[in-house]
Structure 1
């Protein structure tokens, strides 16, 4: 079964051009919606993807109608491929039911993976540079040594754990942990 999906971003836009193209290639059912492609939780798209069965083909007028990010497109197409469902984009002339179409989409996937690797390397390099400059990572300590001694003195002076926690603006658990460390 050939199932189409048409999408426009705003209510001011019209899906008629997409519907005409999808009907021309013989789509038996067409899901359409008016919602931004940046949103991945599009109701009609979810229903469309759920309705597809092995041997079916999902057809879109243009790749950007299915999703805005390459990562999302690759995830959707990989899911379709795993479920033995074909994919066709009319404007880009991509058809994953043919060997050439599969090759093109795998090239897209490789490029996306390469891009993710580059981003990962840049993040690691940025973290290393920040660390070399003395930037501290992680959550700051709730207490310095002076505050620890003050909290212990307050407790020994009769203050409750809750009062100490409020004084230092920390949780009671932080005070329990601190006092337990001093008991050891």
Structure 2
């Protein structure tokens, strides 16, 4: 005779959201969860006390149940890590909304597919990043943000302020930059003049 698994629910809402875990807890209780861990924390954070408490109490044959997959984690990498911890404890996993159940062969296959897609996504991001960096290097970009001012404009600001024709505040307004930016331009210009002398 098969034993009935001990279902443990996990409900989470993000901090600052004007909502509660009530609807999730109700769905988890209706699904047969005998205990529900409730948390108010971002799904992108790994330091969630209730999540760690739940994982620490898992025994072989238990099943972790969530209302929706993103309640466990918003990061696919963290989700797969949490799933590994659940599996290492000998427990299963169910998501009510996505109908994923790792206690069945089809559910285990589904999680393996999710993991494969995550790995593929990471590889694609690495390839796109490498291609973008190579393209930027080919165009002569070294890195960082593009300058807001052309060299000619920077020289005009520096010469105008240094000669006293215009104030730093006037040049900042004229070119749509901050006064500290003007100060840095002027300081660099004066340093160049000093080095040239």
Q: Report the TM-score when normalising by structure 2.
A: 0.63
**CA deviation profile, 1:43-82 (whole Å, cap 9, x unmatched):** 1111111111222111111111111122221221122223
The aligned counterpart of 1:50 is 56
* SS of residue in 2 equivalent to 1:40: coil
1:11–1:34 CA contact under 8 A, matched in 2: no
Unaligned runs of 5+ in 1: 138-184
Give 3-state SS (helix, strand or coil) of 1:74's partner. helix
Q: CA deviation at 1:135?
A: 5.3
In the alignment, what sits opposite 2:20?
14
Higher mean alpha-carbon deviation, 91-100 vs 9-18, is at 9-18
Residue in 2 that maps onto 1:88: 94
Name the structure 2 match of 1:103.
Answer: 109
Q: Moved runs in structure 1, 4+ residues, more than 3 A?
A: 130-137
CA distance in 2, matches of 1:83, 1:72: 17
User: Does 2:125 correspond to 1:119?
Assistant: yes
Q: Secondary structure at the match of 2:130?
A: helix
- Aligned equivalents of 2:115 and 2:41: distance in 1? 25
- Give TM-score, length-normalised by structure 1: 0.67
- Give the match for residue 10 of structure 2: 5
Between the two proteins, the alignment pairs up a number of residues equal to 137
Contact kept, 8 Å, 2:80 with 2:115, in 1: the verdict is yes
